[in-house]
Chains A and B, each alone.
Chain A
Amino acid sequence: MSECRRVRENLVAFLCGELGEGEKENVRRHLNACSLCRRELKQLQQTLQSARSLNPEMEKTLASVNWEALAEKIVHAVWNEEARPRRLPGRERFRLSAPKLRAVFAGLLLGVLVGALATYLVFRGRLPQRNGGEKLFASGEFLDRVDLEIARRETLDYLEKSQYVLLEFVESRARPGKFEPGGLAAQRAKELLEKKKFLNPQLEKAQMAKAKEICDQIELLFYELAQISESLTEQQRQEIQNLIEERKLLLRINLLRKELQESEV
């Protein structure tokens, strides 16, 4: 069986005259003895005969091309399009891409780069600056849009993190012990308070009044959470819970997030 497999892998090469004498003889010998491989050979032969069905079309297509005209067209295109100076045979022509010049060009390029870098480093402090140090040369409208987009993304991030902390707090009521305000939550609240400080000027600048109002309320809650050090009494927990519910903070955060997500600049 392995002999059949080996021979079959050679059958196509056998049919195409690509086998050496020895291999050819082996295949012939096996074919004389094996009817299955003879059948395989016949099918492959038929396949190769089918391949010839494309030949007349190819010949017809070949005959339909004006080869003299095509050759002339190609040479004309090459000579015109390339427009490169003819080289005289036997004479060395000066070429910018010549291998011996590559090192020279590399050295020159390196020199230019180092010079440009040095010039930049020396003169960068002395360049005239626009608008008290702003070096941006974009339009005011564009910069406003950039500010708004940054504020939008920062607010979304802040809201998402806040929502996560508040949700955890609300759910902890049903599962006491899961939420430890004195530990992780207080830490998170502190981090978010820091972030809010950074967010404030952006909210002002981008005129996001609604977002600012909600973020301020969240800030207040986090301020309280962060103040609570070790453990939370049931009364404190209830107060914070009431604040979240009274102000419908989670719902408003959701709505605001949705609004912000849809208002991409």
Chain B
Amino acid sequence: MDRTDVAENENIQILLEKAKGGDRLAFKTIVTLYQQKVFLLAYSILRNREDARDIVQETFLKLYRKLDAYEREKNFQAWLLQMAKNLCLDYYRKNYSRRKELESAKSIEELNLAADDGSNNPTSSDLRQVFSRCLEKLGDRQRLIFVLKHYNGLQYQEIAQILNISVGTVKSLHFKAVRNLRNLLGPLVGMES
């Protein structure tokens, strides 16, 4: 943790201690500080606003139950996002088949943006759809690392703490995720070669 993180962590310690003692306002402050980060993580994985809101609530419920288990030397944000990530993955695994059925029947190939008119400038909405599908094609760990890096704006170090793996592994999986996305996207968006 760098100096800013340490200071932030110390402030959080105070809030956590107060929350443990039943200070409702302190707990609400923690929720207010971190709920958007948890939401972003959940939304990036689940791609559903309501499900992400549920995950936010579940995460903070779990946090309250586990307040005693928190160790001071841990990075609080990484610890919290680790809980959120686990809840998201459980939810994703349980509901994945249902989601697949509910999704549009269009495959990635059908959304081939470069095929029809030869244009290399797909609309942002089309690109969003294609990219979203490609992202889902990645393996769980690659997708999660990509999401944590690009949509949660976390550093490799924090991602490593959340996923409980080494920084080297994060770097390697992130590289593979981007390379796989490039391979999937390339022919669809007419990527320059």
Listed in ascending order, the chain A residues whose CB lies under 8 Å from chain B are 9-13, 16, 18, 39, 42-44, 46-48, 50-51, 53-58, 61-62, 64-65, 67-68, 70-75, 77-79, 81-82, 86-90
A-B contact pairs, 6 of them (CB 8 A): A11-B175, A13-B171, A50-B185, A58-B151, A77-B57, A82-B64
B147 to chain A, nearest CB (A): 10
Asked if A65 meets B39 with Cβ closer than 8 Å, knowing A12-B178, A51-B150, the reply is yes
Q: Does B24 contact A (CB under 8 A)?
A: yes
Q: Does B93 contact A (CB under 8 A)?
A: no
User: Complex Cα distance A47/B2, Å?
Assistant: 30
Given contacts A51-B131, A70-B57, 5 further A-B contacts (CB under 8 A): A47-B191, A58-B40, A75-B27, A87-B20, A87-B22
Tell me the nearest residue of chain B to A79, going by C-beta.
Answer: B24
User: Quick check: B178 and A44 within 8 Å, CB to CB?
Assistant: yes
Question: Residues 164-193 of chain B: 1 if any A CB is under 8 Å from the residue's CB, otherwise 0?
Answer: 000000011011001101100110010111
User: Complex Cα distance A169/B57, Å?
Assistant: 74
| CB contact between B192 and one of A42, A58, A72, A79 (< 8 Å): that residue | A42
User: Complex Cα distance A82/B191, Å?
Assistant: 53
| CB contact between B175 and one of A13, A64, A65, A79 (< 8 Å): that residue | A13
3 tightest Cβ-Cβ pairs between the two chains A and B: A86-B22, A89-B21, A47-B182
* Residues of chain B with a CB closer than 8 A to A62's CB: 36, 39-40
Listed in ascending order, the chain B residues whose CB lies under 8 Å from chain A are 17-18, 20-24, 27-28, 31-32, 35-36, 39-40, 43-44, 49, 52-53, 56-57, 60-61, 64-65, 124, 127-128, 131-132, 135, 146, 149-151, 155-156, 171-172, 174-175, 178-179, 181-182, 185-186, 189, 191-193
Tell me the nearest residue of chain A to B129, going by C-beta.
Answer: A53
User: Complex Cα distance A86/B46, Å?
Assistant: 34
User: Complex Cα distance A9/B177, Å?
Assistant: 12
Which of A11, A50, A67 has the most chain B CB atoms inside 10 A of its CB?
Answer: A50
A233 to chain B, nearest CB (A): 69
User: Complex Cα distance A64/B31, Å?
Assistant: 18
User: Quick check: B131 and A43 within 8 Å, CB to CB?
Assistant: no
Tell me the nearest residue of chain A to B48, going by C-beta.
Answer: A61
* Residues of chain A with a CB closer than 8 A to B56's CB: 70, 74
User: Quick check: B61 and A64 within 8 Å, CB to CB?
Assistant: no
User: Quick check: B21 and A75 within 8 Å, CB to CB?
Assistant: no
User: Quick check: B182 and A43 within 8 Å, CB to CB?
Assistant: yes
Asked if A18 meets B128 with Cβ closer than 8 Å, knowing A46-B192, A71-B28, the reply is no
User: Complex Cα distance A62/B40, Å?
Assistant: 8
User: Quick check: A74 and B31 within 8 Å, CB to CB?
Assistant: yes
* Residues of chain A with a CB closer than 8 A to B156's CB: 13, 18
* Residues of chain A with a CB closer than 8 A to B39's CB: 62, 65
Asked if A43 meets B40 with Cβ closer than 8 Å, knowing A53-B128, A61-B49, A77-B61, the reply is no
User: Quick check: B57 and A50 within 8 Å, CB to CB?
Assistant: no
User: Quick check: A75 and B31 within 8 Å, CB to CB?
Assistant: yes
* Residues of chain A with a CB closer than 8 A to B65's CB: 82
User: Quick check: B131 and A50 within 8 Å, CB to CB?
Assistant: yes
User: Complex Cα distance A196/B185, Å?
Assistant: 71
Asked if A75 meets B24 with Cβ closer than 8 Å, knowing A43-B182, A58-B151, the reply is yes
Asked if A58 meets B44 with Cβ closer than 8 Å, knowing A39-B193, A65-B39, the reply is yes
| CB contact between A58 and one of B20, B43, B149, B191 (< 8 Å): that residue | B43
Asked if A48 meets B178 with Cβ closer than 8 Å, knowing A43-B186, A53-B131, A87-B20, the reply is yes
User: Quick check: B21 and A67 within 8 Å, CB to CB?
Assistant: no
User: Complex Cα distance A74/B171, Å?
Assistant: 35
Asked if A67 meets B32 with Cβ closer than 8 Å, knowing A43-B182, A43-B186, the reply is yes
Tell me the nearest residue of chain B to A56, going by C-beta.
Answer: B124
* Residues of chain A with a CB closer than 8 A to B64's CB: 78, 82
